[in-house]
Amino acid sequence: MTGKIAGFDFGCKTFLTCSEGFEIKSPLFLKQSLKELKLASRNHSRKKKRSNSREKARKNLVRVHEKITNRRCDWFWKLAHELTDKYDYLFFETLSLKGMKRLWGRKISDLAFAEFLKILDFVATKKGKVVSYIDRWYPSSKECSECHHVLDKLPLDVRYWICPNPSCNARHGRDENASLNIKRAGSLSLGLDGVRQSQTATVV
């Protein structure tokens, strides 16, 4: 047990932004293999129906899909072990995946946030660590992590902002700020104010 806690913010450009000062980029396995997948799909569709060559092409298409899934799953397991080795308490926002898919489509499927969280929950339980989720409507991106002033609105394309509170004026990166607020909200919800905080920033 490390006694450390951390908050994590999911994103499309950065898979995870951690409150402890580092980001984790997604390999985007589907995007990497898109050319190979399109070629296999085109080859399958051009074969004569119920022919042996079409069946071979179908099996090849299945293998390409399985390769993408297996690579992503392997990366998820390794990441889950890495994070649970570092932290005892890991806090995340509650995601609206259906809404995200409507906005960003295939990229959300490629990131597979829900699949990662299932694996992380399993690994954390085995190790006696805690994965917890903050309220879905908590304004983690719009709240200043310094003075807790909450903005009326914050468009998705705004990545950096300055707190309008005259006594604060803190400059925030959207994702970094959200991860700090997620950590704080999660800690308060579980009464972890006295838990030792991580002081080390690590690059993954």
The residues annotated with a catalytic role in the active site are 9, 93, 175
CB atoms within 10 A of CB 6: 25
Angle between helices 34-46 and 52-86 (to 10 degrees): 160
How far is 136 from 116, CA to CA, in rounded Å? Answer: 18
Please say whether the beta carbons of 175 and 9 come within 8 A: yes
Residue labelled with tokens 């509170």? 165
How far is 167 from 65, CA to CA, in rounded Å? Answer: 54
How far is 183 from 19, CA to CA, in rounded Å? Answer: 7
Q: CA 54 → CA 35, 38, 45, 60, 67, distances in Å?
A: 20, 15, 8, 10, 20
What is the distance between the terminal CA atoms of the chain, rounded to a whole angstrom?
21
How far is 10 from 90, CA to CA, in rounded Å? Answer: 13
